[in-house]
DNA sequence: GGTGAAAATACTACCTG
DNA sequence: CAGGTAGTATTTTCACC
């Protein structure tokens, strides 16, 4: 394998991208159907998929769940600003945010904001408990701003390819 | 089927949630293995999965792709504030943002910000072209703020269950 | 990368409580 | 109506070219 993890770029040809495009929409698509779409045999497709999984291009295979349907109706965006910029403090924050299941996505960003969190909860009461634990009781957090999601226009989990 | 789409909540028992938890991590897990995990037979699991797909609890099945590995190294968060709050203008904005492949996720939020966009591009030059088209040349956009993602701590596409 | 056979898996019909 | 069983069809996977 060329590169198991790491952030380096992997060489992908047009066929690989075409396969990814299909798998991104529906990874249950039979290799047979993918094969005829990209003018290849099923095993050839299979080998390419395997390689992309090994190199980390395909990071995982997941069923996409509608949060509202499982009673997790509330999505929140939280911009977090930290007190200092010490590396150690960031590691702590990363570990903390990662460990919370309600924190669906967490990004470290530039600018006056340090972290952006996408949080999914059942109720606002649940979120308030969370804010206490993550922000108010966290001395490293200077400030945080919450934006409440009213509508998910595009649920995006797909990466634009090509 | 109880409810094909719509945002109503679906009745799910402990077993359904256990199945979802597994499929969210890896939807290629054989029904046989899921079955023994939840103490059921494979066809029973199969029927439950089918029902959850029909009711929209499972919205889709996707391969998760690492943007960096396909040359889409740059993730940006854009907060967009609109000029007015007319419904028609929002519909236009939704359509516009949805139609752009680089806009991976788009949410309508409350507060002084109206939309949050998560944009994935290859280069900053590509983003600049996009900003012109989406924001500068769009009279409905009052203001926008871009936050550049430095690190994706948690790539979250999973919904906390239970 | 293709071919063909083998193994694993998903699906269906039918039966049972 | 939900689950189990057994058989069938599909799909994945492997050896070989």
- As averages over each run of 10 residues, the pLDDT of chain B (162 residues) reads 58 96 96 98 98 96 92 91 89 94 93 94 96 96 96 77 74
Please say whether the beta carbons of A105 and B155 come within 8 A: yes
Distances (CA, A) of A128 to A39, A119, A152, B133, B146: 54, 12, 22, 38, 27
The SS3 call for residue B86 is coil
Which residue's alpha carbon is at the shortest distance from the C1' of C8? B30
What CATH code is assigned to B67-148?
A: 3.30.70.920
pLDDT at B73: 79
Quote the distance between the C-alpha of residue A23 and its chain's center: 16
B113 touches strand D (CB under 7 A): no
Residues of A in contact with B116 (CB under 8 A): 77, 147, 149
In strand D, the nucleotides that come within 7 Å of a protein beta carbon are: 2-6, 10-15
How far is residue B117's CA from residue B115's CA, in Å, rounded to a whole number? 6
pLDDT at A85: 81
Enumerate the β-bridge partners of residue A106. A117, B154
pLDDT at B43: 98
Please say whether the beta carbons of A34 and A44 come within 8 A: no
H helices of chain A, in order, are: 14-25, 31-38, 42-54, 87-99, 124-131
Virtual torsion, Cα A5, B73, A66, A105, nearest 10 deg: 80
Distances (CA, A) of A134 to A103, A140, B151: 10, 10, 19
DSSP line for B18-69: HHHHHHHHBTTS-HHHHHHHHTS-HHHHHHHHHHHHHTTSEEEEEEEE-GGG
What would the pLDDT profile of A61-86 be if each residue is shown by its tens digit? 999 999 889 988 899 999 999 998 88
Please say whether the beta carbons of B110 and A148 come within 8 A: yes
Enumerate the β-bridge partners of residue A61. B26, B63
Task: Indicate the fold that domain A14-55 takes in CATH.
Answer: Arc Repressor Mutant, subunit A (1.10.10)
The C-alpha of A85 sits at a distance from chain B's nearest C-alpha, in angstroms, of: 14
Q: What pTM does this model have?
A: 0.87
pLDDT at A5 over 60: no
The count of C-alpha atoms lying within 13 angstroms of the C-alpha of B76, restricted to the half-sphere facing its C-beta, is 22
| Token pair listed for A46 | 């299979």
How far is residue B98's CA from residue B77's CA, in Å, rounded to a whole number? 15
pLDDT at A2 over 50: no
Average pLDDT over chain A reads 91
| Token pair listed for B51 | 């029902």
A30 touches strand D (CB under 7 A): yes
8 Å CB contact of B148 and A110: yes
pLDDT at B161: 79
The CB-based long-range contact list for B68-71 (8 Å cut-off, 24+ gap) reads B68/A7, B68/A9, B69/A7, B69/A8, B69/A9, B69/A10, B69/A55, B69/A56, B69/A57, B70/A9, B70/A10, B70/A12, B70/A17, B70/A20, B70/A57, B70/A159, B70/A161, B71/A9, B71/B122
**In chain A, % of residues over pLDDT 70:** 93
pLDDT at A4: 47
| A55 in contact with chain B, both atoms CB, cutoff 8 A | yes
What would the pLDDT profile of A78-124 be if each residue is shown by its tens digit? 999 999 888 888 899 999 999 998 998 999 999 889 999 999 999 99
Domain regions of chain A by residue span? 14-55, 67-148
Q: Which residue has the higher pLDDT, A152 or A78?
A: A78
């Amino acid at each position: 394998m060329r590169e198991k993890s790491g952030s380096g770029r992997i060489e992908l040809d047009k066929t690989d991208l075409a396969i990814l495009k299909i798998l991104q929409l529906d990874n249950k698509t039979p290799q047979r159907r993918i094969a005829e779409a990209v003018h290849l045999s099923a095993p050839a497709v299979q080998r390419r998929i395997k390689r992309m999984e090994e190199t980390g291009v395909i990071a995982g295979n997941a069923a996409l769940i509608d949060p509202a349907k499982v009673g997790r109706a509330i999505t929140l965006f939280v911009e977090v600003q930290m007190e200092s910029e010490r590396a150690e403090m960031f590691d702590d924050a990363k570990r903390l945010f990662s460990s919370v299941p309600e924190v669906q996505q967490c990004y470290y960003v530039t600018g006056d904001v340090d972290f952006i969190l996408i949080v999914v909860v059942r109720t606002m009461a649940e979120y308030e408990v969370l804010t206490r634990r993550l922000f108010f009781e966290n001395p490293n957090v200077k400030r945080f701003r919450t934006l409440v999601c009213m509508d998910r226009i595009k649920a995006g989990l797909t990466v634009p390819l090509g």
